[in-house]
């Protein structure tokens, strides 16, 4: 009996530690927005923004640029999916508002992925002395662009010229899509062949998105993917220290900046040679980019290089279609092997029921059915344990402080009554990995972001605003505790009684979808345990003392 309680106590303590850590992170004050001076999108006025790579034989993209500073302008672009602003200095995409995604803090506002709270921009340019880059001032053909009804594509063109080379930067927006094609069109107006490379990069500050308490738990940083080396995170800390181990060259793969629920990824076409790079800049800025060769351009000829940019939610079905491996930006942690199938089944149920809350309930029932034989055996053991509890109390009184004789007598009693003293631990041990996996599914899957259930629950990925579900779950845990055998040790008995209250308080800060799962699971467990206890309790002979 002591062994069983010890294991239960360890399991609960470990779970409590996980819950406490998550609660601490979720209630941690959000990162305050950067100051007005720092929150601006990086501009080429600051020398710290020269994030272009430097390779042997190839000067920095900013080197030798004699373009006058000149004023820059903001171009506004609106489609059915995004509201964007392009800075004529460099043609940087420095503001991106997702019109179909609501802000975590205010449902009346849309999420802003690029700026203004964070310095975040997609940049591109050419590598070579005097060639236009992301510090060059471009000229645009207008200040407002709108995707008109009946049109599926909207092109924004910006022009710049230097030393006889004309460059047109083309940003192509698509209807019903978060993809933006970024192209560099180079016309060689000189009398000699031109050899250059184009670079495309994402530059971002190192701060996690503010406002959402969950942001502090999730990964914010860069990532690289290739077919050979697969998905690799590249943290801002490693970039700053120069400790990066991602592949430097490949003919496939992509780079990305990741944050909770959203990703910006540059996706060069397959079978095209590319070189990846990262760089730490001053002012807490980090860049990850890709260099794509343009090839020799004959005098009077024009060449074009294009790299699509995906900047939007981490919708797993859509990400798989956008690029190979892009769905891997959804990180379920070390329990991905359980979490990924859970999400697949949950999504299947949602397709049937059209409600994520109902899908969670059905998933709970299915999981309970899968583990029914194991749970039944455990509850039978616990029911028998409850029947022999009075005899265990007598043994404790009989042997007093002689732990050796008491434990031996208890083991003999278990053997006689065919009771597994560890059987009651199995339901808890089985539920822990499933619970943690579902936690990450609810936590990381943008599909459940702002997903309503019924009545007052408007977002299953957020805590219950009225604390009804956590309170019900606490009550269900108290009922379960009452149904379990009382530990002979008074201290252990008090700990087991306090646990439901502690867990209940912790669950006030957990996603309501997770609390819904745990509550439904508790109800099913109570029904199953009550039925088994009733059946075994009818057999009085099983618990009668043998004389």
pLDDT digits (tens, 9 = 90+) for 276-331: 999 999 889 999 999 999 989 999 999 999 999 999 999 998 999 999 999 999 98
502-546: per-residue pLDDT in tens? 878 888 888 899 899 989 999 998 998 888 777 776 554 444 544
- The pLDDT tens digits of the residues spanning 224-233 come to 999 999 999 9
Query: Long-range contacts for 533-539 (Cβ within 8 Å, ≥24 apart)?
Result: 533/379, 533/382, 533/383, 533/386, 533/483, 536/380, 536/383, 536/384, 536/387, 537/383, 537/387
Give the pairing of strands 92-102 and 82-87.
Answer: antiparallel
- Rounded to whole angstroms, how far apart are CA atoms 445 and 356? 12
15 pLDDT tier (thresholds 50, 70, 90): low
Q: Sorting pLDDT into bands at 50, 70 and 90, what band is 213?
A: low
Rounded to an integer, what distance in angstroms lies between the CA atom of residue 512 and that of residue 509? 9
Per-residue pLDDT, 537: 63
CA-CA distance, 413 to 415, in Å (whole number)?
5
Q: Which residue has the higher pLDDT, 83 or 163?
A: 83
pLDDT band at 28 (very low <50, low <70, confident <90, very high): very low
Q: Can you tell me the distance from the alpha carbon of 177 to that of 117, in angstroms, rounded to the nearest whole number? A: 24
* Mean pLDDT, residues 446-467: 91
Record the pTM: 0.80
Phi, psi for residue 514 in degrees, rounded to 5: -70, -40
Q: Report the alpha-carbon distance of residue 262 to residue 318 in Å, rounded.
A: 13
Nearest to 200 by CA among 86, 278, 123: 123
The residue ranges of every structural domain in the chain are 2-25+339-542, 61-331
Choose which CATH entry (2.120.10.30, 2.40.440.10, 1.25.10.10, 2.70.98.90) describes domain 61-331.
Answer: 2.70.98.90
CA 138 to chain centre: 37
Task: Give every CB contact of residue 328 below 8 A, 6+ residues apart in sequence.
Answer: 225, 230, 231
- Which range, of 78-92, 133-147, 213-227, 349-363, averages the lowest pLDDT? 213-227
Q: Which two tokens stand for residue 480?
A: 């379960």
Q: Residues 44-57: what's their mean pLDDT?
A: 39
- For 366, the token pair is 């299915």
Contact predicate 203/287, CB 8 Å = yes
Residue 369: pLDDT over 60: yes
Q: How many helices (H) and strands (E) does the chain have?
A: 12, 19
Q: How many residues does the chain have?
A: 547
Give, for 72, the enclosing helix (H) or strand (E).
Answer: none
Beta bridge partners of 262: 259, 313
Most confident of the ranges 64-78, 290-304, 373-387: 290-304
In this prediction, residue 408 carries a pLDDT of 82
Tokens representing 194 are 């031109």
Residue 424 CA, chain-centre distance (Å), reads: 34
CA distance 237 to 102: 30
CB atoms within 10 A of CB 375: 21
The DSSP code sequence of 202-215 is EEEESPPPSS-GGG
Q: Tell me the pLDDT band of 416, cut-offs 50, 70 and 90.
A: confident
Residues 6+ apart with CB under 8 A from 323: 254, 265, 267, 310
Cα–Cα separations (whole angstroms), residue 365 to 4, 6, 369, 519: 27, 30, 6, 12
Average pLDDT for 243-263 = 92
Look at strands 144-146 and 74-78 and give their pairing.
parallel
pLDDT exceeds 90 at position 417: no
Coil vs helix vs strand at 368:
helix
The per-residue pLDDT for 344 is 94
The two three-digit tokens of residue 320, written as one number: 């798989």
CA distances from 452 to 214, 255, 362, 455 (A): 18, 33, 16, 9
Higher pLDDT, 421 or 21: 421
Question: What's the pLDDT score for residue 312?
Answer: 97
The contacts of residue 147 (CB under 8 Å, 6+ apart) are 78, 79, 80, 153, 154, 173, 175
Instruction: Please provide the distance, in angstroms rounded to a whole number, between the alpha carbons at the two ends of the chain.
Output: 22
How far apart, in whole angstroms, are the C-alpha atoms of residue 262 and residue 260?
6
pLDDT at position 421 is 65
Q: What is the pLDDT of residue 31?
A: 39
Long-range contact pairs involving 81-87 (C-beta distance under 8 Å, separation at least 24) = 81/175, 81/176, 81/177, 81/178, 81/312, 82/173, 82/178, 82/180, 82/311, 83/110, 84/173, 84/180, 85/115, 86/140, 86/156, 86/158, 86/171, 87/41, 87/43, 87/121
Task: Give the per-residue pLDDT at 69.
Answer: 46
């Amino acid at each position: 009996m002591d062994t069983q309680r010890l294991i239960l106590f360890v399991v609960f303590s470990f779970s409590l530690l996980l819950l406490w850590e998550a609660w601490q992170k979720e209630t941690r004050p959000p990162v305050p927005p950067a100051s007005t001076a720092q929150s601006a999108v990086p501009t080429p006025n600051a020398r710290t923004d020269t994030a272009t790579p430097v390779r042997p034989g190839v000067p920095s993209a900013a080197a030798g640029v004699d373009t006058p500073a000149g004023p820059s302008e903001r171009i506004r672009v609106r489609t059915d999916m995004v509201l964007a602003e392009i800075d004529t200095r460099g043609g940087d995409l420095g503001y991106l508002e997702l019109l179909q995604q609501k802000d975590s803090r205010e449902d009346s506002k849309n999420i802003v992925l690029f700026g203004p709270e964070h310095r975040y921009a997609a940049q591109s340019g050419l590598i070579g002395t005097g060639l236009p880059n992301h510090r060059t001032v471009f000229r645009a053909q207008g200040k407002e662009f709108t995707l008109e009804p009946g049109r599926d594509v909207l092109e924004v063109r910006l022009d710049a010229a230097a030393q006889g080379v004309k460059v047109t930067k083309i940003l192509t927006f698509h209807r019903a899509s978060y993809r933006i094609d970024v192209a560099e069109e180079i016309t060689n107006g000189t009398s000699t062949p031109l050899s250059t490379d184009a670079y495309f990069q994402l530059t971002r500050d190192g701060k996690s998105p503010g406002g959402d308490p969950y942001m502090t738990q999730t990964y914010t940083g860069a990532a690289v993917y290739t077919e050979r080396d697969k998905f690799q995170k590249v943290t801002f800390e490693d970039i700053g220290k120069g400790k990066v181990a991602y592949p430097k060259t490949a003919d496939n793969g992509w780079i990305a900046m990741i944050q909770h629920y959203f990703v910006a990824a540059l996706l060069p076409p397959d079978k095209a040679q590319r070189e990846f790079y990262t760089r730490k800049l001053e002012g807490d800025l980090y860049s990850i980019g890709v260099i794509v060769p343009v090839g020799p351009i004959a005098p009077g000829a024009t060449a074009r290089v294009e790299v699509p940019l995906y900047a939007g939610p981490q919708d797993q079905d859509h990400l798989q279609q956008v690029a190979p491996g892009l769905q891997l930006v959804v990180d379920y942690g070390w329990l991905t092997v359980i979490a990924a199938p859970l999400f697949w089944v949950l999504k299947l149920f949602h397709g049937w029921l059209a409600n994520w809350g109902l899908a969670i309930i059905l998933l709970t029932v299915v999981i309970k059915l899968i583990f029914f034989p194991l749970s039944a055996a455990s509850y039978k053991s616990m029911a028998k344990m409850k029947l022999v509890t009075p005899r265990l109390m007598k043994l404790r009184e009989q042997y007093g402080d002689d732990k050796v004789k008491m434990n031996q007598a208890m083991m003999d009693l278990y053997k006689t009554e065919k009771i597994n003293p560890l059987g009651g631990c199995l339901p808890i041990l089985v539920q822990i990995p499933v619970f943690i996996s579902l936690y990450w599914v609810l936590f990381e899957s943008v599909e459940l972001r702002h997903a309503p259930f019924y009545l007052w629950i408007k977002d299953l990925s957020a805590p219950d605003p009225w604390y009804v579900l956590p309170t019900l779950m606490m009550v269900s845990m108290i009922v379960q505790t009452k149904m379990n055998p009382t530990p002979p040790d008074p201290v252990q008995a008090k700990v087991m009684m306090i646990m439901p209250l502690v867990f209940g308080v912790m669950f006030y800060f957990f996603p309501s979808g997770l609390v819904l799962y745990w509550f439904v699971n508790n109800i099913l467990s109570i029904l199953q345990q009550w039925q088994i206890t009733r059946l075994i309790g009818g057999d009085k002979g099983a618990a009668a003392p043998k004389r």
